[in-house]
Structure 1
Amino acid sequence: MGQFEPGKSLSFRLPSDTPSHVLKYLTDNKKEAGRKFSSNIASIFIDAVSQKALSISNGNQMNVPLPKGLTSEELDWLNHPHTKALISQLLYQVVKKPYSPFDLNHQPEKIEAEYPPAFKANAAIQNFAQKAFLDFDDDDD
């Protein structure tokens, strides 16, 4: 048997003990989707197999369902690596130190390895920037 890859055909038989609500869903979906039925079922199949594979291979992950009705901008923001790092950092704080205030400067080991510290300017550059760009005392009123 060859290796599975995108675009390859996969067929299987429904077991004899398939629940009636599943059979009804498949029948209704087939009638509604027509030729797109296999695409609809393929996405459901991939999601189910993906969840199963992740739960078996990696026990240190958790899937959190997103609220319905998010805009594409909100979804893009949630999928950004910095947002995921912030959420995982907050979760880490809640689990490890539930009764202490949030320390947003502390980063768990995994996040530190994945995201290097932000750029820090030395004192000379900070002084120059403060004097050149942030000194508003001489502005005319």
Structure 2
Amino acid sequence: MSGFYDRGKTISFRLPNDTPESVLSFLNELKEVEGRNFSRKLATILFEGILNKKEATEDIILTMPASLTKEEQEVLQNKITKRLLGHVIYQMITQDSPVKKENSELHERKEELLFETSAVHNRFAKSMFDFEEE
């Protein structure tokens, strides 16, 4: 029975050697801000992560183009907002949407551009490699 966890039981663990610097900075800042409540706050973060992991079916990480305010971050953390964004992204990817069509056309055009050169490039190359025979 001692191997099982129960309320009030202590959990200790080591941070892996490859822990990202951003995580270490976050933990150090949290310790400084929370002081004696550090463990309680860390436990809350751990529980939220575990619950989110249990609820998640397939997660993706999206990089936002700019920093969000605290209020905007809270809106994104709302379950309804997450579901709506998930549905919108799913529809964009699976349906024949303008975004999917544009990405497809961009990919085709990108492959065409791999070997395309302009007249300026052609003249430059010709001048560089047009040697007079001695």
- The two structures share one fold, judged by TM-score above 0.5: no
Higher relative contact order (CA 8 A, sep 6+): 1
* TM-score (structure 2 length as normaliser): 0.41
* TM-score (structure 1 length as normaliser): 0.39
Flag the structure with higher helix content. 2
